[in-house]
Structure 1
Amino acid sequence: MPPCKLARGSRLVLATHNAGKLAEFATLMAPFGITVVSAGELGLPEPEETATSFAGNAAIKALAAAKAANLPALADDSGLCVSALGGAPGIYSARWAGPDKDFAGAMARIEEGIGPDERDAWFVCVLCLATPDGATQSFEGRINGEIVYPPRGTEGHGYDPIFQPEGETRSFAEMSEAEKNAVSHRARAFAAFRTACLEK
C-alpha cells in the first residue's frame, strides 16, 4: 500500500491527552505546514490499550482518534525495555508508575530487579498514522543504552534519569531537550514517518 502523504495545510489529530507531547509534535510538524490538534482538545475518549506490542497499542489509539474525528491521526506508544527483566516494563512502562505517576518508585523497582552486570536497556517508540477509512502505517525507532542508578539529571520525564544512551556519559535527563530530541527513539521513529508521509 502506498504511504499516506499529508499535504501542507492538512489537519492531523495527535492521539494524546498529554499537553507536553502535543507541544513537541506541533513543533516537529510546523515546518511541513501541518496543523496538529490533540484528542484531548477534541474531547475524544482514550481507548483501552489492550494490545501486547507497542505497534498494536499505537494502532488502537490512532484508529480510534481518526474515526472519531474523521481526520488522519497519529499516535505513539513508547517505553523502556530492560534486558534483565525480559523486556519489562516495555508496553507497561506508564503503568509501572501507577495512577500517581510515581516514576521514582518505578525506577527503584527496575534497579531492585537487576544486577550490577545486567544493565542493558533500550527505549522503543512506534508511531502509527491512521486514516478514517481504517488504513494504518507504523514507524519504529529504537535507541540502545544502559540503566544507571541513582537517577541523574532534572530534564526530560519518565525514566529518562536512569537511561544512558550508547556512546554517551550522560543520562537522557542530563541532556537538553534539543540534544535528546536529536537522538531519541521518538526522533528516529519520526524521521521514518517524515520520510514516508510528509511533503518536503
Structure 2
Amino acid sequence: MKIVFATNNLNKLKEVQYLLPAHITILGLSDIKCHEDIPETQPTIKGNAIQKANYVKNKYGYDCFADDTGLEVEALNNEPGVFSARYAGAERNDDDNINLLLHNLKSHSNRNAQFKTVIALSLNNEIKTFSGICKGEITSEKHGTHGFGYDPVFKPFGYEQTFAEMLLEDKNKIGHRGKAVRLLADYLNFK
C-alpha cells in the first residue's frame, strides 16, 4: 500500500515511516509534485489536520494522511497550541520559537505542558482522525541535539531526558506522534 503523508518535513517522514508496517510506503508531498504551502487556517489542531488531508485528496487525488501538532503550555493558556510552528513568526524557526517560549515562561513556576498530535486520514472518501498526547514539562534551557521543534525543551513526565536527548525509537514509544501513528497503523492494517 502506498499513501501520501502531507508533509515536506523529512524528520516527520522518517519518524512516521519507522512506525508503520513494512507493507505501507509513504510518499511525501515532493513525491507527488506538491510544492505549494498547504493552507492551515483552522482554529484547532484537528481542523488543520483535516484541512491538509482534504486539500491533497481534492487537488491531487491521492489517499492521504496529514498531521498537525501543537505544544500546549498550561501557564500560557495552552499557547502556542495551533500556532506552535509559527509562534515567533511566519519563518517557522525552531530556535526563535523556543527562545520566545522560554522568555514567556520566565515568570511562571508551572511548566506543565503537553504535545498533542492529530492525524487525519482521507481514505476511500472518508475522513478518520487519530490523536496522541504526551504530557511533560518545559525545561529552563535547551538540552540535546536530536529531533526538531520544541524537543530540546520538552521533558516527558517520568523521564530525565528531553525529547532531543532521546533516541528516535525511545521518543516514538512514548511520544504524541508515535501514539497517533500507531493508531493509524492499526487502522490501516485492516484496510
Question: TM-score of the superposition, structure 1-length normalised?
Answer: 0.87
What is the CA distance between 1:39 and its match in structure 2? 1.7
Change (3 A) 1:101 1:70: closer
1:50 aligned counterpart, secondary structure? coil
> Is this contact kept in 2: 1:70–1:132, CA < 8 A?
no
Cα distance in 2 for partners of 1:181, 1:97 equals: 27
Alpha-carbon offset, residue 149 of structure 1 = 1.3
Structure 1: how far apart are the matches of 2:133 and 2:95?
Answer: 23
Secondary structure at the aligned position of 2:33 is classed as: coil
Check conservation: 1:144, 1:165, Cα contact below 8 A: yes
Partner SS state of residue 32, structure 2: coil
Q: In 2, distance between residues paired with 1:143 and 1:27?
A: 19
Structure 1: how far apart are the matches of 2:93 and 2:8?
A: 19
Distance apart, 1:47 and its partner CA: 2.2
The answer as to whether partners of 1:63 and 1:132 remain within 8 angstroms in 2 is no
Asked whether 1:54 is paired with 2:45, we answer yes
Match of 1:35 in 2: 25
Shift of residue 116, structure 1, vs aligned partner: 4.2
Return the offset for 1:79: 1.7
How far apart in 1 are the matches of 2:52 and 2:91?
22
Structure 1 residue 25: Cα displacement: 2.4
How many residues are paired up? 189
CA distance in 1, matches of 2:99, 2:15: 28
| One-letter identity of the residue aligned with 1:129 | L
Write the distance in 2 (CA, Å) between the matches of 1:28 and 1:68. Answer: 27
Structure 1 residue 101: deviation in Å?
3.7
Report the identity percentage. 33
**Residue in 1 that maps onto 2:81:** 90
Mapped to 2, the partners of 1:67 and 1:27 lie a distance apart of: 27
Greater mean alpha carbon deviation, residues 80-89 or residues 20-29: 20-29
What stretches of structure 2 of length at least 5 have no aligned partner?
none
Q: Cα–Cα, structure 1 residues 136 and 124, in superposed 2: closer, same or farther, change >3 Å?
A: same
Query: Which of 61, 67, 74 pairs up with 1:76?
Result: 67
Tell me if structure 2 keeps the 8 A contact 1:17–1:40: yes
Structure 2 length as normaliser, TM-score? Answer: 0.91
8 Å CA contact 1:155, 1:176 repeated in 2: yes
- CA–CA distance in structure 2, aligned partners of residues 43 and 30 of structure 1: 25
* RMSD (CA atoms): 1.8
2: CA distance, partners of 1:49 / 1:167: 33
Shift of 1:63: 0.9
Q: How far apart are the structure 2 equivalents of 1:145 and 1:95?
A: 21
CA distance in 1 between partners of 2:10 and 2:88 (Å): 19
> Which one of 88, 113, 137 corresponds to residue 146 of structure 1?
137
Paired residue for 1:174? 165
Q: Which residue is equivalent to 1:163?
A: 154
